[in-house]
C-alpha cells in the first residue's frame, strides 16, 4: 500500500470513558474497518493506553495515544484532543483527574434529579460503567435504557440528558486556552475536537479559537459528522487564516453512537507532523 492510501482515524472512545468496546476491541474493530492507524482518545483518561498498546501486534493496527480533554470557555464546553503527551506530566494529569472527579459529582446530582421522575438509581448508573471509567451522560443513558424508560442513548440525549433540558448540570473543566498550553507543556499535540458541533449545545466564537491558536493549538478537527457542510467551509477558512492543520475522525463510541470507524479520516502528512511534535511515538505493529 502506498503511503497516501494509509487510513487514519485519530479519535475514538473505549469503555475507559463512554465507548462500549474495550481498548483492545477498538483496535480489533479498526482492523476489520480496514484502518492502518487508530487514535484512542478517551475522555479525561489515558487508562486504556496500555491495553491498546498490547493489541497493536495482534491486530496490525498502529496506535496513536491520546485523550479528549474536557475544557470550557466562559461555560461553553470545548473538547480538546491531546496526542502523544507525557502521561506522567503532573499538571495535565492533575487537571484530567480533577475533571473526572467533577464529572462524578455532576452525574450523581443529575441522577438524583432524574430519579425523581424516572426509575433509575445511582447504583444502576455505576453498573453501566467499567471500573475506573470516566463517568458521563452516556452511562446515565444506559441506565435509562436498561429500565426500559428510553429506547437508546441518542433518544436520551435528545430529551432527558439534553444540555438544554431541566436535568442538565455542568462540571468543572479547565479554561480552553490554558488547556492548550498545558497540553503543549506536557509534550502533547493539541487539536480542537468538533469545533462547530452545534447539535451538542453552544459553540465558542472564532475569537476563542484564535486565542487557542496563539496558545499553541495544532489543528482543528474539521471533518466530523456533527459539522454541516457550511460549518466545514467556515472552519476551512478559519484554519487557513490561523495557520492550523486539519484533522478528521469518526469519534467512534462502539455501539453507543451511530458513528462508524473510518467514516472520516486524517491525512498521513498531518499524522507525521503530530508524531514529530509529540513526546511519544506512534506504536506500530
Q: Report strand pairing: 76-83 vs 62-73.
A: antiparallel
Fill in the per-residue mask, 17 to 36: x = in contact with ligand AMP (CB under 6 A), - = not in contact. -x------------------
Instruction: Identify which of residues 210 and 226 has a Cβ nearer to Zn ion in the complex.
Output: 226
> Is 57 in a helix, a strand, or coil?
helix
> What CA–CA distances, in Å, run from 159 to 108, 153, 212, 235, 257?
18, 10, 32, 29, 16
Instruction: Identify which of residues 200 and 241 has a Cβ nearer to ligand AMP in the complex.
Output: 200
Using an 8 Å Cβ cutoff, are 134 and 44 in contact? yes
DSSP 23-46: HHHHHHHHHHTT-SEEEEEEET--
Using an 8 Å Cβ cutoff, are 79 and 70 in contact? yes
Pick from 11, 137, 194, 246 the residue near ligand AMP by CB under 6 A: 137
User: Considering the complex, what minimum distance in angstroms separates the CB of residue 123 from ligand AMP?
Assistant: 19
Instruction: Identify which of residues 220 and 282 has a Cβ nearer to ligand AMP in the complex.
Output: 220
Q: Does 153 bind ligand AMP (CB under 6 A)?
A: yes
Fill in the per-residue mask, 42 to 81: x = in contact with ligand AMP (CB under 6 A), - = not in contact. -x--------------------------------------
Query: In the window 2-61, what residues touch Zn ion (CB under 5 A)?
Result: 13, 18
What dihedral do alpha carbons 168, 79, 16, 96 form, nearest 10°?
-90
Pick from 109, 154, 159, 205 the residue near ligand AMP by CB under 6 A: 154
Instruction: Identify which of residues 167 and 252 has a Cβ nearer to Zn ion in the complex.
Output: 252
| Residue 193 binding target from Fe ion, ligand AMP, Zn ion, none, CB below 5 to 8 Å by type | Fe ion
C-alpha closest to that of 273 among 189, 201, 196: 189
74's CB contacts (< 8 A; 6+ apart) are none
User: Considering the complex, what minimum distance in angstroms separates the CB of residue 190 from ligand AMP?
Assistant: 18
| Residue 167 binding target from Zn ion, ligand AMP, Fe ion, none, CB below 5 to 8 Å by type | none
> Is 109 in a helix, a strand, or coil?
helix
> Can you give the binding site for ligand AMP, defined by CB under 6 A?
18, 43, 136-138, 153-154, 157, 253, 256-257
Amino acid at each position: 500500500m502506498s503511503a497516501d492510501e494509509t487510513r487514519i482515524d485519530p479519535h475514538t472512545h473505549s469503555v475507559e470513558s463512554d465507548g462500549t468496546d474495550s481498548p483492545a476491541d477498538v483496535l480489533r474493530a479498526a482492523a476489520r474497518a480496514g484502518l492502518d492507524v487508530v487514535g484512542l482518545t478517551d475522555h479525561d483518561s489515558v487508562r486504556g493506553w496500555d491495553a491498546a498498546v498490547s493489541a497493536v501486534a495482534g491486530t496490525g493496527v498502529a496506535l496513536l495515544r491520546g485523550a479528549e480533554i474536557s475544557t470550557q470557555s466562559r461555560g461553553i464546553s470545548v473538547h480538546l484532543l491531546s496526542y502523544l503527551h507525557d502521561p506522567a506530566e503532573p499538571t495535565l494529569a492533575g487537571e484530567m483527574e480533577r475533571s473526572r472527579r467533577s464529572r462524578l459529582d455532576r452525574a450523581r446530582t443529575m441522577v438524583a434529579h432524574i430519579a425523581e421522575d424516572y426509575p433509575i438509581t445511582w447504583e444502576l448508573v455505576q453498573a453501566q460503567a467499567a471500573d475506573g471509567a470516566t463517568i458521563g451522560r452516556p452511562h446515565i443513558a444506559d441506565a435509562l435504557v436498561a429500565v426500559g424508560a428510553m429506547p437508546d442513548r441518542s433518544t436520551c440525549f435528545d430529551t432527558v440528558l439534553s444540555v438544554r433540558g431541566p436535568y442538565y448540570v455542568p462540571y468543572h473543566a479547565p479554561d480552553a486556552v490554558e488547556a492548550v498550553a498545558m497540553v503543549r507543556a506536557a509534550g502533547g499535540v493539541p487539536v480542537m475536537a468538533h469545533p462547530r458541533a452545534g447539535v451538542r449545545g453552544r459553540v465558542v466564537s472564532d475569537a476563542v479559537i484564535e486565542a487557542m491558536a496563539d496558545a499553541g493549538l495544532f489543528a482543528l478537527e474539521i471533518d466530523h459528522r456533527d459539522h454541516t457542510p457550511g460549518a466545514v467551509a467556515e472552519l476551512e477558512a478559519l484554519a487557513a487564516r490561523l495557520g492550523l492543520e486539519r484533522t478528521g475522525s469518526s469519534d467512534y463510541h462502539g455501539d453507543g453512537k451511530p458513528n462508524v470507524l473510518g467514516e472520516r479520516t486524517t491525512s498521513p502528512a498531518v499524522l507525521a507532523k503530530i508524531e514529530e511534535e509529540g513526546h511519544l511515538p506512534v506504536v506500530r505493529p
